[in-house]
Structure formats: C-alpha cells, structure tokens
Amino acid sequence: MYEQIAFYLFSVLTIGLFLVTVLSKNILYAMTSLAAGMVLISGFFFMLGADFLGVVQLIVYVGAVMALYAFAMMFFDATRDIKEKTTNDALVFFLGGMVALMLVIIFAAPVFSENIQAMYPVVEGVGNAQAVGLVLFTKYLVPFEVAAVMLLVAMIAGIILAGKKMDHSLTTNDDKVISQEDTK
Amino acid sequence: MIGLSHYLILSGLLFAIGFVGVIRRRNLLMLFFATEIMLNSANIAFAAASYYYHDLTGQMFAFFIIAVAASEVAVGLGLLIVLYKKFGTLDLDDLASMKG
C-alpha cells in the first residue's frame, strides 16, 4: 500500500519536474527542477532495495554534477531567459509522443521470464552495500578500474579546458578582445 | 502491487521526456540537462530489473552509467566554457559555422 502511494507520488513528481526542465526558458529553473527530480529518482532506488545506488545517486548527481552545473552557470548569463528558435513544436511533440507510446507498448508487453536467470544473484544475509561490493570487486574489477582511469582523464580534461585563459574576466573584457587574442 | 512493468513504463516516459528535450532544445546547456534525464531513466530501468530478477548486474551497470555521466559532465562543461569564451553564446543556431 505504502509502496504504491510512494511509487505514484514519486512518478508524478518526477515527470512533472523533468517536464519543467525540458520546457522551461530559464536555465536556473531548469537546473533546480532537474536536481529535485534526481533526488526523487534516488527515492525510487531506495524503494527498489538498491540502497547504495540511491546514496551514490544523491552524492554524485545531486551533489557533484549539479554543483558542477551551478559553477558552470557562473560563466554563462543564467538569469536571462534564453531565446530559442523552436522550429515546428507540433512535430517535436508528435515524435516524442510516438517514442513514449512505442516504449510503453514495448515495456507493457508480457516478459517471458522463465529463461532469465540471475548471473550474480543477490547474496543473502548481507546488506545491499556489502553485496554490491562483493560483486563489484570480484566480477567487475576491471571495468571498475577502467572507470577510475576514465574519471581521471575526464578530470584532467575538464581542468585543462576550463582553466585555459582563466585570468581573463568574461564580464570586464568584451568578447572581441578575447577572440583577438585567440587568433594571435 | 507495483511490478517490473510499472518501473519500465515510468522509465520509458522519462526517456521520452529527455528525447523531446534533445530534439526541441537549441541551447547546449539545456541539451546537457535532457541527456541527464535520459541517463537517469535508464538507471531506473536497470535498478528495477535488478530488483525483480534478484540480480546485481543491473545495479553494476547503473554505477558505470553514473561514472560515465560524471565524466561526460566534466569534459562537456569544459568544452561549453571554451565555446562560450570564443563565441559568447551557447545557441546551436549561432554556433553552426558550416552552412549546409
């Protein structure tokens, strides 16, 4: 009973918040509603028994990624409404509705699950974090290390890309000065 | 009772929302937001499959998706800052330099 209430409440809220993200004209509103939607998605993870995944979602997405967006927003003019040429809204919503309908039909179809067997079944008697650790550091050790190297590369790339010409202020210098110095 | 198909349908709807955002948006930052929505919907589907089949592989994939999303954001935001410094805008129509 409570699970159903929580599921439908979270679903409606998440869909509404993500619709705000997609349709809003203001970057700040879009980012805030995206962060709120991600908090609610971590609620889904907790409902599904994936406690560790929910915590990681909260820390990485809501904490790190959103903070990164908020920092990046200082470089852009975030308070002004963005003007976009939206060409043919009807076609976009038709295509989106068709994709939604197709996905719903596919996912609502009955699953013949007799042949599906768990490769790495959930370990009984331990918490979710411990079970995740047991699988992650045995079967998925190599992808884990590769992911670590990928994060390191991404960090270096981010620092180099964003840190170049950091001594130039975007607000006091106009763009022509910066682009002239680019061509030198 | 909430079953696997409930979560899958929710994930499909969220994916469609992200898809509409990717198609409709012209601002690069908004495109990034829409991409995050699509990645998150995939994560929900993975976690639900992991729960209903008692298999931890889905949660593993969700972890790696989160790692990929984090590095994508780091590199992508660096590129966005470089683009903004160079052109002063993030609008895709203004950034299109190849006329085709």
Domain that holds residue A180: 140-184
Q: Is residue A131 part of a domain?
A: no
B67 closest CA partner among A92, A148, A137? A148
Whether B21 and A151 lie within 8 Å, measured CB to CB: no
CA A103 to CA A35: how far, in whole Å?
A: 25
Q: What is the pLDDT of residue A91?
A: 84
pLDDT surpassing 70 at residue A36: yes
- B16: which chain A residues are within 8 Å (Cβ-Cβ)? 96-97, 99-100, 103
Q: What is the pLDDT of residue A181?
A: 53
The ipTM is 0.90
Q: What is the pLDDT of residue B69?
A: 92
CA B90 to CA A72: how far, in whole Å?
A: 12
Q: Is residue A116 part of a domain?
A: no
Q: Is residue A68 part of a domain?
A: yes
Tokens at residue A40, please?
């609610």
What is the tens place of the pLDDT at every residue in A148-175? 999 999 999 888 887 776 666 555 555 5
CA B76 to CA B57: how far, in whole Å?
A: 28
Q: Are A120 and A139 in contact (CB under 8 A)?
A: yes
CA B76 to CA B32: how far, in whole Å?
A: 8
Q: Is residue A93 part of a domain?
A: no
Q: Which top CATH class is B4-93?
A: mainly alpha
DSSP bridge pairs for A135: none
Q: Is residue A120 part of a domain?
A: no
Considering only CB atoms, A53 lies closest to which of B29, B63, B81, namely B63
Instruction: Using DSSP, state whether A49 is helix, strand or coil.
Output: coil
Q: Is residue A92 part of a domain?
A: no
Identify the CATH number of the domain in which residue A10 sits.
1.20.120.1200
Angle at CA of residue B85, ends B84 and B88, nearest 5°:
55
Instruction: Using DSSP, state whether B86 is helix, strand or coil.
Output: helix
Whether A154 and B62 lie within 8 Å, measured CB to CB: no
Q: Is residue A182 part of a domain?
A: yes
Instruction: Work out whether the CA dihedral B5, B11, B14, B19 comes out positive or negative.
Output: negative
Q: Is residue A95 part of a domain?
A: no
Q: How many structural domains does chain A have?
A: 2
pLDDT along chain B (100 residues), means of 10: 86 91 86 93 92 87 92 89 82 74
**How far is the alpha carbon of B99 from chain A, nearest alpha carbon, in Å?**
17
